């Protein structure tokens, strides 16, 4: 009888100290399992005088019931505790400390929209092309074969040997001319990517491609279009200058400068003292490219241009460093809120 009382006290005490379900399970086995202490006690009944056996047996069974109930109760408690612990550990902080109170178009978007609007008013249609491009459309279709030195002009992010992040919007020239025959008059605004980074170069920036193909298109049509653009972006006095240049996909090719809107052409830090700012590359579509895309180069001619949107925005707003566009400093961005 003493032994029964002792087991009861010790087991209940140990149960109370139990902190995990697995420890509780071990404890249960220790007392109520096949070779457990209480079971052992029941087996020792044989050693007792016959008349004491029924009372003893009844007492042991009573304790067994009591302990079993206590184990069930304790299991419930521990399960609840473990759930609580889990909930606390997995808590997600959904509080928001600062709420943005304003929103506006980014200066690059403002300028892109403005240029698109000016060109669509002249009858250009707006197209979009893939930012992940094939080597074929980004280079080969544009008369830049593998190993052509002109590839050095554009430090390229390659994804595989034949897939890359487009370095220019010009691949849309080829994509469109393959599908649509003249008259063609399109622009393609979009992001382009080059492995290049300093105050005037960013690994991602925006271009607007322009392409016009029809009968009797000449360099004069290009100049007229660009003069109209420049006058509407920077004012009537802005001058447009063509300098001879080279692109494999245009022939002849030109680099186009505008008089610096910061100093009006006198020379300042923005234009590096020259009075002119280079804004785009352009030229007459190389007949090789027309033929690559299945367009009869004896019948049709075309011009193409590719302008840098950031560059135009930098000139328009007097922004000294291209990186300011991508830092998302609200003090910078707020200046463009109308
Ligand atoms: N794609 C050229 C560049 O990114 C620019 C360009 C476009 C030149 C169209 C000529 C014609 O440098």
Q: Is the same domain home to 144 and 77?
A: no
Span from the CA of 35 to the centroid of ligand 1 (angstroms): 87
Of 89, 121, 138, which closes a domain?
Answer: 89
Residue 277, in any domain of the structure: yes
Q: Say whether the peptide bond before residue 252 is cis (omega within 30 degrees of 0).
A: yes
Residues 32 and 164 in one domain: no
Which residues does 212 contact at the CB level (< 8 Å), separation at least 6? 124, 184, 185, 221, 222, 225, 302, 303, 304
Whether 112 and 81 share a structural domain: no
Tell whether omega for the bond before 183 is within 30 degrees of 0, i.e. cis.
Answer: yes
Residues, the chain: 338
User: Domain ends where: 59, 89, 119?
Assistant: 89
Looking at the fold, whether 225 and 310 belong to one and the same domain comes out as yes
Give residue ranges with CB within 6 A of ligand 1. 168, 170, 247, 250, 281-283, 304-306
Q: Tell me which of 281, 285, 290 to substitute to probe ligand 1's pocket, judged by most ligand atoms within 8 Å of the beta carbon.
A: 281
110 Cα: distance to centroid of ligand 1 (angstroms): 22
Does 53 fall in a domain? yes
Q: Is 18 exposed, middle or buried (0-12, 13-18, 19+ CB in 10 A)?
A: buried
Quote the pLDDT of residue 305: 98
Residue 100 lies in a domain: no
Range of the domain at 84: 2-89
Q: Do residues 45 and 118 both lie within one domain? A: no
331, 235 Cβ separation under 8 angstroms: no
Q: Which of 89, 121, 155 is the last residue of a domain?
A: 89
Q: What is the pLDDT of residue 95?
A: 87
- Testing ligand 1's pocket by substitution, the residue of 124, 166, 167, 247 carrying the most ligand atoms inside 8 A of its CB is 247
Distances from the Cα of 67 to the Cα of 8, 32, 45, 51, angstroms: 8, 8, 19, 26
Atom of ligand 1 nearest to the CA of 207: 4
Asked if residue 135 and residue 69 are part of one domain, the reply reads no
Angle between helices 219-234 and 107-120 (to 10 degrees): 130
Do 52 and 147 lie in one domain? The reply is no
Statement to judge: residues 138 and 197 lie in one domain = yes
CA of 324 to the centre of ligand 1 (A): 24
pLDDT in tens, the chain (338 residues): 888 889 899 999 999 999 999 999 999 999 999 888 888 888 888 888 888 888 888 988 999 999 999 999 999 999 999 999 899 889 888 888 888 788 899 999 999 999 999 999 999 999 999 999 999 999 999 999 998 988 888 899 999 999 999 999 999 999 999 999 999 999 999 999 999 999 889 999 999 999 999 999 999 999 999 999 999 999 999 999 999 999 999 999 999 999 988 788 899 887 889 999 889 999 999 999 999 999 999 999 999 999 999 999 988 898 989 999 999 999 999 999 87
Residues 82 and 159 in one domain: no
Cα 187-193-194 angle, rounded to 5 deg: 125
Which atom of ligand 1 is the closest one to the Cα of 192? Answer: 4
**221 within domain boundaries:** yes
Domain identity same for 320 and 232: yes
CATH of the domain at 308: 3.30.930.10
User: Does residue 255 form part of some domain?
Assistant: yes
Q: Tell me the C-alpha distance between 255 and 249, whole Å.
A: 14
Alpha-carbon distance of 302 to 289, in angstroms, equals 10
238 within domain boundaries: yes
Same domain, 147 and 9: no
Helix or strand (DSSP H, E) at 12: helix 2-17
Question: What total of structural domains would you count in the chain?
Answer: 2
- Does some domain include residue 67? yes
Evaluate whether residue 94 is within a structural domain.
no
Q: Same structural domain for residues 73 and 140?
A: no
Contacts 24+ apart (CB under 8 A), 76-85: 78/18, 78/19, 78/20, 78/21, 78/24, 79/21, 82/20, 82/21
């Amino acid at each position: 009888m003493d032994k029964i009382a002792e087991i009861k006290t010790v087991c209940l005490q140990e149960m109370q100290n139990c902190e995990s379900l697995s420890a509780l399970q071990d404890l249960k086995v220790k007392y109520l399992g096949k070779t457990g202490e209480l079971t052992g006690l029941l087996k020792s009944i044989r050693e007792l005088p016959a008349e004491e056996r029924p009372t003893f047996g009844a007492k042991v069974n009573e304790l067994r019931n009591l302990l079993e109930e206590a184990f069930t109760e304790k299991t419930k408690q521990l399960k609840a505790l473990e759930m609580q612990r889990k909930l606390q550990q997995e808590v997600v902080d959904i509080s928001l400390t600062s709420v943005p109170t304003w929103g506006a178009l980014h200066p690059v978007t403002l300028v892109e929209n403005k240029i698109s609007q000016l060109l669509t008013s002249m009858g250009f249609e707006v197209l979009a092309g893939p930012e992940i491009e094939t080597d074929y459309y980004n280079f080969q279709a544009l008369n830049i074969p593998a190993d052509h030195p002109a590839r050095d002009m554009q430090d390229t992010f390659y994804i595989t040997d034949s897939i890359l992040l487009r370095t220019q919007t010009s691949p849309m020239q080829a994509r469109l001319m393959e599908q649509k025959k003249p008259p063609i008059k399109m622009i393609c605004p979009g992001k382009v990517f080059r492995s290049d980074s300093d105050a005037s170069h960013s690994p991602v920036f925006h271009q607007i491609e322009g392409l016009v193909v029809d009968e009797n298109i000449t360099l004069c049509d290009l100049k007229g279009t660009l003069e109209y653009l420049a006058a509407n972006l920077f004012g009537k006095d802005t001058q447009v200058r063509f300098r001879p240049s080279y692109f494999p996909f245009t022939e002849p090719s030109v680099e186009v400068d505008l008089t610096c809107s910061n100093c009006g052409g006198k020379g300042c830090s923005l234009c590096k003292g020259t009075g002119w700012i280079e804004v785009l590359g352009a030229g007459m579509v190389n007949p090789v490219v027309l033929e690559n895309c299945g367009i009869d180069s004896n019948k049709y001619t075309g011009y193409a241009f590719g302008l840098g949107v950031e560059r135009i925005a930098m000139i328009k707003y007097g922004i000294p460093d291209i990186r300011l566009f991508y830092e998302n400093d609200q003090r910078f961005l707020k200046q463009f809120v109308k």
